[in-house]
């Protein structure tokens, strides 16, 4: 069962990563190409109002996944995993409240958590690649790999993709507000 869940999580992670990369490339291209800028504007108009809900769904999936691995599969999280959870779990509430109330300032609350969580996830992945750089972990070594899809996609990379997708969703929400203000 754990292997099946890990494979499904890996497939979902790769799909979301592909979307995040495509959105980031479009965002960069829009700075130089009027055609890309037009496409970016249409995407902001299309996704803007729903992007917080999409970001919330990513946070929900990441939270449920982390709880599955620790509470059902009985994998004990390392300290870096706990810190990533500390960054992820509040996003469930922040994004939900932001989406329900259409809070135009949700980026102020969400982005510090997504950026901090991303930094922790990158460091955690580096610790897994180079166990010698590990600094003061808990009883469970941060270089331990309990979850691995496709022979390389570990939990910190899944976490990083989740934080990146949530960041993109929050930024699209902000861009939609900016576009609406410019239209007025």
**Residue 149, H or E segment:** strand 148-149
Output the pLDDT for position 72.
Answer: 94
Mean pLDDT to the nearest integer, 88-110: 95
Output the pLDDT for position 126.
Answer: 93
Is 170's pLDDT higher than 90?
yes
Contact between residue 80 and residue 119 where contact means Cβ atoms under 8 Å apart: no
Under the banding of pLDDT at 50, 70 and 90, the label for residue 139 is confident
Burial grade of 66 (CB within 10 A; 0-12, 13-18, 19 or more): buried
Mean pLDDT to the nearest integer, 87-101: 97
Output the pLDDT for position 135.
Answer: 72
* Count helices and strands in the chain by DSSP H and E runs: 6, 2
Output the pLDDT for position 109.
Answer: 95
Burial grade of 154 (CB within 10 A; 0-12, 13-18, 19 or more): buried
Output the pLDDT for position 57.
Answer: 97
Domain ranges of the chain: 2-183
Output the pLDDT for position 132.
Answer: 78
Output the pLDDT for position 113.
Answer: 98
Query: Model confidence over 59-76: pLDDT tens digits?
Result: 999 999 999 999 999 999
**Residue 30, H or E segment:** none
Helix axes 34-47, 2-29, angle to 10 degrees: 130
Map tokens 């507000």 to a residue.
Answer: 177
């Amino acid at each position: 069962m754990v292997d099946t869940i890990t494979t499904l999580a890996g497939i979902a992670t790769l799909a979301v990563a592909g979307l995040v990369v495509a959105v980031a490339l479009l965002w960069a291209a829009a700075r130089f190409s009027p055609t890309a800028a037009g496409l970016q504007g249409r995407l902001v108009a299309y996704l803007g109002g729903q992007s917080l809900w999409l970001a919330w769904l990513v946070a929900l999936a990441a939270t449920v996944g982390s709880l599955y691995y620790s509470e059902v599969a009985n994998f004990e999280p390392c300290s870096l995993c706990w810190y990533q959870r500390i960054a992820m779990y509040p996003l469930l509430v922040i994004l939900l409240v932001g989406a329900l109330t259409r809070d135009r300032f949700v980026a102020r609350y969400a982005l510090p958590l997504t950026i901090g969580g991303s930094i922790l996830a990158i460091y955690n992945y580096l610790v897994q690649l180079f166990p010698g750089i590990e600094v003061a972990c808990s009883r469970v070594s941060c270089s331990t790999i309990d979850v691995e899809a496709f022979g390389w996609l570990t939990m910190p990379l899944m976490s990083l993709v989740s934080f990146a997708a949530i960041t993109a969703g929050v930024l699209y929400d902000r861009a939609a507000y900016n576009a609406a203000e410019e239209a007025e």
